[in-house]
Structure formats: C-alpha cells, structure tokens
Amino acid sequence: MFIRAHNADQLLFEEQWLGEIEGIDLTLTFLRTKQAEVIRSPRRTAVDLGLPRPRTERDRACHVDPAALPPRPRAA
C-alpha cells in the first residue's frame, strides 16, 4: 500500500503509532551511539585466568559452611 506523505502523518496519528515511531527512533539513536563507541574503543585483550584446580584440604579447612553458623539475632 502506497501512502502519500501528507496522509502518512494522519495515518500514524489515527492508528496511534506515533509513540511507537518515537520509541524506534530513540532505539536507533542509542544503537548508533553504541556502535560508534565500539568502533572508537581500543580492542581489549583476553585475560588468562589459568585452569581451575581441585580444592585442597587446606582450601576446605578455610571454608566456612553457612549452615554451621549460629542464627543471626533479629532486629527488634
């Protein structure tokens, strides 16, 4: 369906699409800004965190089981 320019605004108003159009425009503006930021930003290198290792007895001894703690007093 072809809509002439002067009828397009009337159709948008009648169908209550103006808010939708404004929302889409706002989203596009945000995405274009974000895209420009990504293009301008320097590339970050990955951080090597190493391989995970099994827990040792020492690690287990340092761990406090929350279920073993006494209940906290409630505020009055």
Confidence of residue 1 (pLDDT cuts 50, 70, 90): very low
> Cα–Cα distance between 39 and 31 in angstroms, integer?
12
Query: Using N-to-C axis directions, what is the helix angle for 18-40 and 5-14, rounded to 10°?
Result: 110
pLDDT tens for residues 5-23? Answer: 567 777 777 777 777 888 8
Residues 18 and 12: beta-carbon distance below 8 Å: yes
Q: Model-level pTM greater than 0.75?
A: no
